Each structure stands twice: as C-alpha cells, then as structure tokens.
Amino acid sequence: MSEERKALAIKLYEINAFKFGDFKMKVGINSPVYFDLRVIVSYPEVMKTVSDLIAAYIKEHQLTAKHVCGVPYTALPLATLVSVQQGTPMLVRRKEAKDYGTKKLIEGLYNAGDTCLIVEDVVTSGSSVLDTVRDLQREGIVVTDAVVVVDREQGGAVSIAQHNVRMHSLFTLSFLLNTLLEAGKIQRNTVDAVARYIAASQIKGDGSFVNPQQKVAVNDFSRIKLPFEHRATLAKSEVAKQLFHLMASKKTNLCLAADLTQSEEILNIADLCGPYICVLKTHIDIVEDFSEAFIKNLRILADKHNFLLMEDRKFADIGNTVSLQYGKGIYKVADWADLVTAHAVTGRSILQGLKAGVSGTASQMSKRGVFLLAELSNSGSLIDAKYSEAASKIATEGADIDFVAGVVCQSPKCFDFPGLIQLTPGVKIDDTTDQLGQQYQTPEHVVKERGADIGVVGRGIFQAKSVEKAAALYRDRLWAAYTERIAKTGV
Ligand code: 6AU
C-alpha cells in the first residue's frame, strides 16, 4: 500500500490537487501549501485510486459502520464510490436544511443508534468534519471514526479526537512532502518552509489559529511550544507517536536510567518506579546475570506499568555489524527493546543497519525505533556544532526516518522537526557533576532552557534513600516544567 500511496501522492501533485507557494487561507493566514482536491473529479482514475485506498483502509482497520457519509462537497463523490464498492448504504448531509418539505439535514434511511463512518478530503482544523458529526449526532447517529485523504497536521486530529471521533488519514502532509522530495519533485527548502509553518500554525484549544505572522517571532518556530498530543500527529515513527501519547496520558516525561548490574535490582526498581516513568533505559551489557527470564519479566513490568524499554546500546558501526549486534548475540536487543540509541558517526547506514536487524514484518518494524545521539552530556566530548547538525539531518531527512523516534541532545536548537522527541540525560537535583565527567542540570533547566521532552535520571533515583519517592519527585518536576513550557509559549 505504501508504494501505491507514494504513486498517488505524486499523481495528486501532478494534477495540481496541491501546490506550493504563498497562499491566502480561509482562516486569514498565509500558507506555503494549498490543497484543492476538488480537481480530482476530472480524473476518474485518480478518483478510483483514492476511493480504493479509502476502502482498503476501512477494511484493514475493520472500521465497520452501518453507513458512510461524506463531508460536503468535495468528499461526496468519494463517499459515494466507497459506499458502492463496499455495499455500505450512504447518508448525505445537506449543508442547509431544505426550506420546503421535510426540512431534513440528513438524507437516506437510518435509525437512531446506527453507526456512520465519515469520509473527508482535507483536514486542517477539523471543523468541517465536526459540523457533519454534529448533524449526524443530532439524529442519534453514532460516529466513532473519520477517514480523511489528507491530514495537514495542524491539530485537526486532536480537535476531532476531543469529540470522541478517531481521525485516520491516507496521507499526512509530512508524508506527501517526503515523497515529493524523494521523487525529486520539490526542494528541501520547500519541505523546511512547510515544516516551520506546520509547527507555527497549530490550532489553539478554542479552535482558532495562531497566526505565524502575528503571534510567533520568525525565528521562534519551535517544537518546544507544542503539546505532546499535537506532536504525536506529526511523528513519522510509530513508536514516537506511541511515546508522545503515552507521556500525555500518563503525564510523565521521566526516563529512568536503570544502570544496575544485577537483574533482580533492575526488576525491583522497574516495579517500584514503573508508575512514574515513560521509558526505562538499560545498559544490558553491564548486567552480570543476564537471562531470557530477566527480559521476559522486564517486559511484563513494562506492560503492567505502561512504559517503553530503551536499550542504550549506542550502536556505532557499519550497517552490517550493527544489524547483527542489534538482532543477534546473547542479548537479541531487537526482540525486546522498543527503542535503542545509536551514534550518527557512521552516517545514514546506521538506520539501514538497524532496520535490517529487525526480523519480521513491516508491522514489527513499526514497533521499533532509534534515538540518534547528536550531543553528549559529559565534559570534553568531541562532538561539535557541525557534527550535531549533520546528525540531526540524518534524523530528519531520507527514506529511513520512519525509524527515528528522537534525538539525544542538550539543546533546543539541535533539531526543529516537532515529530521527533528530545531525550536529555544529565539530570540531577543535588549535584552538578560526578567524578567521571558527567555534567548535571536541574529538571527545570533541561526542559525549559534546553528543550528536553524527556529527562533521563539515573543515579538521582537509584541511589536515593527511597527510589519511589525520588522517581515521583523527578516526575513531578519534569512534568511541571513541560506544562509550564507549553503554557508560557501559548500555542
Ligand atoms: O543520571 P546518570 O548520570 O546516573 O545517568 C545518565 C544516563 C546514563 C548514560 O549512559 C546516559 O544517561 N547518557 C546518554 C544517553 C542516554 O545516551 C547520553 C549522554 O550524553 N549522557 C548520558 O549520561 O545511562
């Protein structure tokens, strides 16, 4: 389906269903990208491909509903094709009630309590989808899902979700951009301009837009302003999406570095601190009594307390060696660690090597991800600004970035793309250094000044008198700093 989607993305661009430039939008802000999917009615083969893909999506995700309803007007013919293809009766929502006869807003045969799936062409704020949802709900019709062709990734999915409707998209704007970039149809500066625009023009809680020209300084287009829920919709890595949602729902951005050498100690601390953390990070090669049973128990605790496992292996070899180190050997890291860390020193082949280390299907691949190291927390690190920039580029450009969940770094300037997660180690409340070069900052400093989305705490927790109390304290302070950060910047 991915190849088909890519071909369709290019076709849509070629028939001017979307364009790049400087466009005045309905909501009064200028956009570097403009969609007009109305044109597709003039291209029957495109109509067929789009509706086939929607139908395939519905089938694959088992979005069973008794009716299908298109948001007027552009999505009406698409909904019609989906209805006919699937044999699902259609409902038609009028934009205005008839002023004669029945005054009905919804045409078609239905009963209160029936379910209905929505089809829409492009979602920006989500308001058009919600208008249709509201009219259907007034008739007692239950709407739980909407399938849209393009998600402009400006918060529409979140605002639709707030009304208990899940939004699914065939394309995100990022996917379209990357496909066109890969195909040589657009330049990198266009991709960057659109990414900045997306980050800066997210929807606020009241449904209005933040105007990039008026409210956000030009050099202030930053991911750190956006809530995790919004950033989840922008992430290209499935694990990053999962982690953003996990952090938002569990209200924690604390990663515990369980740098202990006995498996029993790690399991113990994982159980005690599990409720407070989003990620538990291991250095599996320091465990003296490693066994498969240990990993099995660790995974049970990860599921019990809802946190992800990260093996901080810091891979740094040629692709072939990395694929073996990741998938084989005693530890078989790819089998159990949701996330791993890797240096970017070998270049892009690190991503290909890691992907090759995951055995199994595309769906198993989508459950794994990497954090690339772009900066280190210790004094005397050889990493300079040029290296960091090159490392961030590997995380944000190219065909394999769907495997990159985030970046390990110390500065908000390290990368712009809001769909990646910044992991920042070197967090301790009562020390500034250790004896071996580590440098510490407070939770507030790493989140508010350094752009950390997740703070990594090791000895600050596992050397504390009560690890549970320490985990709760670090969780509270990191989370409060994050909520203040997004509240202050007001997007
Ligand atoms: O809080 P600590 O100093 O006890 O532990 C910090 C943890 C350790 C390091 O291996 C790791 O964070 N770390 C990393 C990571 C996560 O990759 C990068 C870095 O720059 N500094 C750092 O300390 O497990």
Q: Given this model, what pLDDT does residue 2 score?
A: 74
Nearest CA to ligand 1 atom 11: 425
- Which one of 371, 377, 409, 450 would you pick to mutate in the ligand 1 pocket, going by the greatest count of ligand atoms within 8 A of its CB? 377
Asked if the model's pLDDT at residue 30 lies above 70, the reply is yes
| Ligand 1 nearest-atom number relative to CA 423 | 16
Where is average pLDDT lowest: 54-58, 188-192, 214-218, 443-447?
Answer: 214-218
Sheet bearing 115-123, strands edge to edge? 106-107, 90-93, 67-70, 115-123, 142-151, 166-172
Q: What is the dihedral of CA 364, 179, 390, 402, to 10 degrees?
A: -10
Where is average pLDDT lowest: 350-364, 376-390, 453-467?
Answer: 350-364
269 vs 217: which has the higher pLDDT: 269
| Ligand 1 nearest-atom number relative to CA 462 | 4
| Ligand 1 nearest-atom number relative to CA 283 | 24
Q: Given this model, what pLDDT does residue 200 score?
A: 72
Q: Which residues pair with 23 in a beta bridge?
A: 31
CA neighbours within 13 Å on the CB side: how many for 446?
30
Q: Given this model, what pLDDT does residue 283 score?
A: 98
State the average pLDDT over residues 417-440. 92
200 vs 230: which has the higher pLDDT: 230
Q: Given this model, what pLDDT does residue 1 score?
A: 57
Q: Given this model, what pLDDT does residue 225 score?
A: 82
| Ligand 1 nearest-atom number relative to CA 375 | 20
Q: Given this model, what pLDDT does residue 364 score?
A: 81
- Distance (angstroms) between ligand 1 centre and the Cα of 319 equals 24
Q: Given this model, what pLDDT does residue 56 score?
A: 94
DSSP 361-427: -HHHHTT-EEEEE---SSTT----HHHHHHHHHHHHSSTTGGGEEEEE-S-GGG---TTSEEEE--B
- Distance (angstroms) between ligand 1 centre and the Cα of 450 equals 16
In this structure, the number of other CB atoms found within 10 A of the CB of residue 360 comes to 11
Dihedral pair phi/psi, residue 421, rounded to 5°: -105, 130
Nearest CA to ligand 1 atom 13: 425
State the average pLDDT over residues 396-416. 90
Where is average pLDDT lowest: 65-69, 171-175, 247-251?
Answer: 171-175
- Distance (angstroms) between ligand 1 centre and the Cα of 120 equals 45
Nearest CA to ligand 1 atom 5: 458
| Ligand 1 nearest-atom number relative to CA 373 | 17
Q: Given this model, what pLDDT does residue 26 score?
A: 58
| Ligand 1, residues at Cβ distance < 6 Å | 257, 259, 283, 312, 341, 373, 376-377, 408, 425-426, 438, 456-460
Where is average pLDDT lowest: 138-147, 217-226, 246-255, 404-413?
Answer: 217-226
- Distance (angstroms) between ligand 1 centre and the Cα of 256 equals 10
- Distance (angstroms) between ligand 1 centre and the Cα of 454 equals 12
Q: Given this model, what pLDDT does residue 99 score?
A: 60
- Distance (angstroms) between ligand 1 centre and the Cα of 467 equals 18
Where is average pLDDT lowest: 41-50, 63-72, 194-203, 249-258?
Answer: 194-203
Q: Where are the domains of the chain?
A: 2-221, 228-486
Q: Given this model, what pLDDT does residue 60 score?
A: 86
State the average pLDDT over residues 267-271. 98
State the average pLDDT over residues 143-164. 88
**Cα 433 to Cα 252: distance, rounded to the nearest angstrom:** 25
**Active-site residue flag, 296:** no
Q: Given this model, what pLDDT does residue 192 score?
A: 81
CATH topology of domain 2-221: Rossmann fold (3.40.50)
Q: Given this model, what pLDDT does residue 217 score?
A: 31
pLDDT interval class at 230 (50, 70, 90): confident
**Cα 154 to Cα 33: distance, rounded to the nearest angstrom:** 12
Please state, for a pLDDT cut of 70, what percent of the chain lies above it: 92
| Ligand 1 nearest-atom number relative to CA 281 | 24
Asked if the model's pLDDT at residue 219 lies above 50, the reply is no
Q: Single out the catalytic residue among 66, 185, 215, 314.
A: 314
- Distance (angstroms) between ligand 1 centre and the Cα of 147 equals 42
Q: What mean pLDDT, rounded, does the chain reach?
A: 90
Q: Which token pair is 27?
A: 């909501």
Using the structure block, give the residue that is written with the tokens 């769909």. Answer: 419
pLDDT interval class at 216 (50, 70, 90): very low
- Which one of 285, 308, 439, 456 would you pick to mutate in the ligand 1 pocket, going by the greatest count of ligand atoms within 8 A of its CB? 456
pLDDT interval class at 124 (50, 70, 90): confident
pLDDT interval class at 193 (50, 70, 90): confident
- Which one of 273, 282, 312 would you pick to mutate in the ligand 1 pocket, going by the greatest count of ligand atoms within 8 A of its CB? 312
Asked if the model's pLDDT at residue 205 lies above 50, the reply is no
Asked if the model's pLDDT at residue 25 lies above 70, the reply is no
State the average pLDDT over residues 212-217. 36
Using the structure block, give the residue that is written with the tokens 């995700």. Answer: 61
Q: Which of 194-208, 278-292, 371-385 has maximum average pLDDT?
A: 278-292
Nearest CA to ligand 1 atom 14: 425
Nearest CA to ligand 1 atom 2: 458
CATH topology of domain 228-486: TIM Barrel (3.20.20)
- Distance (angstroms) between ligand 1 centre and the Cα of 425 equals 5
